[in-house]
Structure 1
Amino acid sequence: MTLTDLLTWPLFAIADQPVTVVEAIGFVTGALCVLAVARQSIWNWPLGLVNNAAFFALFLGVGLYADATLQVVFAALSVYGWINWHRRRVGGIRLPIRRAGRVEVVLGLVAAVVATVAVALLLAAETDSAVPWPDAFVLAFSLLATWGQARKLIEQWWVWIAVDVVSVPLYLVKGLWLTALLYTGFLALCVWGLRGWTRELRAQRAAYAGHGMDAPSDPVDVEAGTEHTRAAAVRA
């Protein structure tokens, strides 16, 4: 038995749709990854890399070409996020949650919309994809959300929620019932993660206010704010 045969081996069926080994791996690692993100655990990044490999094989096999390509880019962004989170933990200080600046929001949304249109047109013209527009939306906005996740922007949760809402019916159409169930769970975890990050952001702001400082709103302010908070703690 080859590795491909093993990964595509049907384990069980949901609504007469077979669930393969690779889909099951994607389900487990995906759920653990989102749970780790919600808990701000750095382990979300290596779990995400395993999930990317599983979903790359899965999506390629069912003709979701944009989603398959997305996994490759996810992997690159995961390495960036892993390094970024780890670098900020040096000295025991965790990368703080923050809100996206106005420029970040506008540029991010414009880039995601343009990418959605471009990828959808490409898929419609150059592949046999039956669902180019939702496939392209998931690709573009997932990249936007992952970039926000790497920088710990709280708005990333809202983008992930939109992605999950589109993904669930998309995967049902493709017969990926376990993956559709996973993304339904993702949706619930995103709401939970958003609430948790919102509470921590408020706590961060209270801590900055206690030292007579405004909460950081951009990467430069985050660096400066971290140094000021460390200095204040030493003085205390």
Structure 2
Amino acid sequence: MLEPLYEFWTAAAGGSPLEWVAVLTGFACVWLAAREVIWNFPVAIFSCALYIVVYYRQDLYADSLLQIMFIGLSVYGWYEWLYGGRSRTELHVSRTTRPEWLLCAVFIPAFTAGFGYYLAHYTKDSVPYWDSLTTAGSLAAQFLLMRKRLENWWLWVVVDIIYVPILWSKQLYPTSALYALYLGLAVYGYLQWHRAYQRQQAAELQAA
């Protein structure tokens, strides 16, 4: 019973210091996002910068590229959360619109097929289409998160479920464990944001 757990911790302890710092800051940024704390964005930028190197070393090129995109999206999301509301006020939690769902429904399979083909034929990426799928799903989820759409957490749940075995197979054990924790944080984030959305709706009804 204890042997598999011992083997996991032994392997995890062998993770590079760079990966461990990326893991801890990655957990912190998702926790802050779930709590609607604006500082999730600078922490995310730092964590993503570290993961560019971590993923590249493991031949996960789409995920390495994803971190660069996340840095850009985090800068924009930082601005949006501060000034994206009405009359350049703080942005509040809202529901995903139909055009946004349509955009995600077109973008995810198109990106997965196109970039997956490129990785399969022109790189040594070991899991090109899975790598591309998680990248596409993460970009869509991050897009919704920076707009403070409640349903971004649904996409993160799906992405995290896929990431766990991929990262485990690449022997990125601390990061694989992190994505398992992200599952719980995604559920927590949804519940927190849903309560905030309900309070907001109630306040708007009273004001009307």
Q: TM-score, normalization: structure 1?
A: 0.81
Aligned counterpart for 2:74 among listed residues 74, 78, 103: 78
CA-CA distance at 1:205 after TM superposition: 1.0
Q: 2 CA distance for matches of 1:65 and 1:128? A: 9
Aligned counterpart for 2:204 among listed residues 189, 204, 208: 208
Amino acid aligned to 1:80: Y
Aligned residues with identical type, % of pairs: 34
After TM superposition, the runs of 4+ consecutive aligned structure 1 residues lying more than 4 A away are 88-93
Structure number with larger C-alpha Rg = 1
* Per-residue CA distance 1:98-149 (angstroms, 9 max, x = gap): 0011111111221121111111111101111111111101111111111111
Amino acid aligned to 1:72: I
* Per-residue CA distance 1:64-104 (angstroms, 9 max, x = gap): 00000000101110110011112248999531100011111
Which runs of 5 or more residues in structure 2 are unaligned? 1-7
Matching of residues 96-115 of structure 1 within 5 Å: 96-115=92-111
* Per-residue CA distance 1:174-206 (angstroms, 9 max, x = gap): 000000000011110010010011111111111
Compute the RMSD of aligned alpha carbons.
Answer: 1.8
Q: TM-score, normalization: structure 2?
A: 0.91
Higher normalized helix content (fraction of residues): 2
Which runs of 5 or more residues in structure 1 are unaligned? 1-12, 213-236
Amino acid aligned to 1:131: V
CA-CA distance at 1:40 after TM superposition: 0.4
* Per-residue CA distance 1:149-190 (angstroms, 9 max, x = gap): 110001110011111000000000100000000001111001
Q: Secondary structure of the equivalent of 2:15?
A: strand
The structure whose RCO (Cα within 8 Å, separation 6+) is larger is 2
Q: 2 CA distance for matches of 1:14 and 1:134? A: 26
1:119 paired residue number? 115
Matching of residues 44-63 of structure 1 within 5 Å: 44-63=40-59
Q: 2 CA distance for matches of 1:165 and 1:34? A: 16
Aligned counterpart for 2:181 among listed residues 169, 182, 185: 185
Q: 1 CA distance for matches of 2:46 and 2:172? A: 19
